[in-house]
Every structure is written in structure tokens, then in C-alpha cells.
């Protein structure tokens, strides 16, 4: 009676294979692996980056946008969702919502603005230090939304009160849309010129 073979290789075959791998490793490991931290000696070579001041300043500004709290209506909940762990606004360096406008450089206007509230929003904006940006979030912030046509109390768009950089449509916009709007704003900041080259040349 023939015994059924349980394995493809016999034990001795597996042992031979293992032996071959060991021989191969031994043959290729006769030299010492060089220290990966050798470059630490070359201080100058590794520590100089050539870039422009403009790029460097813009990189700093766009990578840590801190929003001021100005959430008069329901779009705020989408903003809160965008801040939460699922959409994780912290990836873009802006998870900190500043209660004081003096520590903020971005205003996300999440909600309907009434004329009665308008002076306070302008005041919050004026209290923010330069440079500052505004994202108009949702239909109400862009044009007054559903209240635009007949309302006696609603401001038809935040751009009547403060200058707006990026408009994010939706009622309300999904957190993805808000994040896309923020990325657009970051691209906009990246193109900013902080130094007037012409003025420097003329001096």
C-alpha cells in the first residue's frame, strides 16, 4: 500500500532549500554595511536649502490657518463634522478654532447673516490680525441663499460686509467641499507676493 504524500517537498528537500538560502546570505554578507548616519559629518551640505523668502513665508502661512469662530447658523455643523476625526481638518494644520479673533487668520463664515448681526461680524473681522482670509461657506454666505429674494432681515452675501476670498457652495456644503475650499485658499496663499521686488530694485 502506497502512503499518500502529504507535502510537496519532503523534509530533506526543505532542509536543502534552507541551506541554499543560508549559503547565499553568507556569501553576500562578507562586507560591513556602512553607517547610514555618516552624512551627519557633512554639516554644511545637509543644512542649506535654497528657496525664496516669498515661498517660505507663504508655506508658513498656508500650513497653519487658524479659523476664528463665526458660525451664526446651521453650516456650523458641517464645519464641526469637518473638524472631527472622520474628516480630520487637523491634517491641514488648522484644527484649532480660536475663540479670540486676535489669534486667528481665517474666518469661515458658516451660516446665514442677519443685518442685526452684521456689525458684530465686521467687528470680529476687524479684530483679526493681518494677513487674514475669509471663506464664504454655503448658499447663505454667498448670496443670502433661500432668504435672498424676499427677506427684510438677511444680508445677501457676506461680501457686503467683509472681503471674501473663496466661495464654497452648498446648502450646507459637505465637509469634503469645505476641505476642497480650504485647499483652494492654500493655493491662493501660495501665490501671494510678500516682497515688492520692484521697490527693492529702485532703492
Q: Which is nearer to another protein, 30 or 149 (CB)?
A: 149
**Which residues face 133 on adjacent strands?**
106
Give the Cα separation of 114 and 194 in Å (integer). Answer: 35
Cβ–Cβ contacts within 10 Å for residue 45, how many? 8
Phi/psi-derived region of residue 159, left when phi > 0, alpha when psi is between -120 and 50, beta in every other case: alpha
Least spacing, CB of residue 118 vs another protein, in Å:
10
Q: Which is nearer to another protein, 106 or 121 (CB)?
A: 121
Q: Is 149 in the site for another protein (CB under 8 A)?
A: no
Least spacing, CB of residue 73 vs another protein, in Å:
15
Q: Is 116 in the site for another protein (CB under 8 A)?
A: yes
Least spacing, CB of residue 197 vs another protein, in Å:
48
> Which residue's entry shows cell 553568507?
26
Least spacing, CB of residue 202 vs another protein, in Å:
50
Q: Is 9 in the site for another protein (CB under 8 A)?
A: no
Q: Is 150 in the site for another protein (CB under 8 A)?
A: yes
In order, the DSSP letters of 83-148 are: HSTTT-GGGGT----BSSGGG-SEEEEES--BTTTHHHHHHHHHHSPSS-EEEEESHHHHH-GGGT
Candidates 9, 39, 55, 115; binder of another protein (CB under 8 A) is: 115
Contact positions vs another protein (CB under 8 A): 115-116, 150, 152-153
Amino acid at each position: 500500500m502506497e502512503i499518500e504524500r502529504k507535502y510537496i517537498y519532503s523534509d530533506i528537500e526543505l532542509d536543502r532549500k534552507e541551506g541554499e538560502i543560508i549559503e547565499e546570505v553568507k556569501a553576500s554578507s562578507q562586507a560591513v554595511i556602512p553607517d547610514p548616519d555618516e552624512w551627519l559629518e557633512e554639516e554644511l551640505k545637509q543644512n542649506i536649502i535654497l528657496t525664496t523668502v516669498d515661498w517660505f513665508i507663504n508655506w508658513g502661512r498656508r500650513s497653519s490657518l487658524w479659523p476664528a469662530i463665526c458660525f451664526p447658523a446651521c453650516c456650523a455643523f458641517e464645519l464641526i463634522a469637518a473638524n472631527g476625526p472622520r474628516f480630520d481638518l487637523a491634517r491641514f494644520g488648522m484644527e484649532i478654532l480660536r475663540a479670540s479673533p486676535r489669534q486667528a487668520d481665517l474666518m469661515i463664515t458658516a451660516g446665514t447673516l442677519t443685518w442685526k448681526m452684521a456689525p458684530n461680524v465686521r467687528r470680529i473681522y476687524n479684530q483679526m490680525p493681518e494677513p487674514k482670509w475669509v471663506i464664504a461657506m454655503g448658499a447663505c454666505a454667498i448670496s443670502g441663499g433661500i432668504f435672498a429674494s424676499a427677506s427684510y432681515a438677511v444680508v445677501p452675501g457676506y461680501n457686503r460686509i467683509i472681503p471674501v476670498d473663496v466661495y464654497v457652495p452648498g446648502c450646507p456644503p459637505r465637509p469634503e467641499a469645505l476641505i476642497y475650499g480650504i485647499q483652494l485658499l492654500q493655493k491662493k496663499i501660495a501665490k501671494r507676493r510678500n516682497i515688492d521686488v520692484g521697490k527693492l530694485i529702485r532703492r
